[in-house]
Amino acid sequence: MSIKLTILGSSGALPAYGRFPTSQYLVIQNRHFLIDCGEGVQMQLMRYQIPFHKIDHIFISHLHGDHYLGLMGLLFSMHLQRRVSDLHIYSPKGLDEIILLHLKYSKSVLHYEIHFHPYHPGEVIQLHEDAVLTVKTIPLIHKIPCAGFLFREKIKPVKLNKEKLFPGLLLQHIATLKTGADVYNEAGELLYKNLDYTLPPPPSYSYAFCSDTAWNETMVEQIRGINLLYHEATFMEEEIDKAHETKHSTAREAASIAQRCEAHQLLIGHFSARYKELEPLLNEAKEIFPNTQLAIEGTTFEFPYESTS
């Protein structure tokens, strides 16, 4: 497993029919991320037996309450469970003031440090990078500044072809081959060509989280060829005027974006409380982009591909 995404909340502004506000738990090569943090998120994390003490990075798309009001409860629970490791929170400007005000008037001092990383949602900004991945913002179109997040794995290391290894091959030569480099002797002569002793690296995958947004063609090039695309689908096409008014998208529009950016798979979510049954939204999206699924609570998506619920 390279990427594992678990849906914690799929509802729009109002919780409805057992659906919670937006939140997702993402694991990439043992890195643990929380994307948005709607009301009730810590209950969902416990419900699905997710070890939230492993989460070191939380990404907040915008400051509408249904995308961050679960954050204070989660932060205090981490405190009560004696978390000591640093926590990084990425959000548009202002969330740091909100959290610090809570701490001030509750006279609370957390056992761990929070590092705030404010960003400008209207720009493509690299928020995080480590040895295996990068995370960048995706500028979106909403009533207040809002950004999605693009997670991309870096090229993975080559694998040794064990059938080609032989006794007497030095450990330092094996270590060099693992890096993808050829092996030379002290005189600069080629001893072992890397391609002869290794297998191609496993595929690298990508995930784009596109939170609340109106129709937004400008992001298509940034996410072209994405393996897994989450795109809000608050309304059906019959409510497109309402979508335009609130700067949200319809299921058909989400599918059209997936089609244009040549995504491999589309997840739709952020469903309006007016819809008890979600199959009509799914069917609307599938008319344009057949490889669409509902991003509903408890569903896990993995790459290499697997879906469980």
Q: Which residues are catalytic?
A: 66
Asked whether the beta carbons of 249 and 226 are under 8 A apart, the reply is no
End-to-end CA distance of the chain: 16
Both tokens of 298, joined, read: 């408890």
Asked whether the beta carbons of 72 and 102 are under 8 A apart, the reply is yes
Q: Which residues contact 205 (CB under 8 A, 6 or more apart)?
A: 2, 3, 153, 227, 228, 303
| CA torsion angle 286 288 289 294 (round to 10) | -40
Asked whether the beta carbons of 250 and 284 are under 8 A apart, the reply is yes
Quick one: CA dihedral 22, 211, 146, 110, positive or negative? positive
Query: What's at 298, amino acid-wise?
Result: G
Nearest-angstrom CA–CA distance, 164 and 114: 49
Q: Determine which helix (DSSP H) or strand (DSSP E) holds 148, and give its type and residue range.
A: strand 147-153
Closest CA to 34 of 55, 10, 65: 55
Nearest-angstrom CA–CA distance, 55 and 31: 8
Can you tell me whether residue 285 is helix, strand or coil? helix
Asked whether the beta carbons of 115 and 87 are under 8 A apart, the reply is yes
Q: DSSP assignment of 90-103, as one string?
A: EEETTHHHHHHHHH
Asked whether the beta carbons of 89 and 35 are under 8 A apart, the reply is no
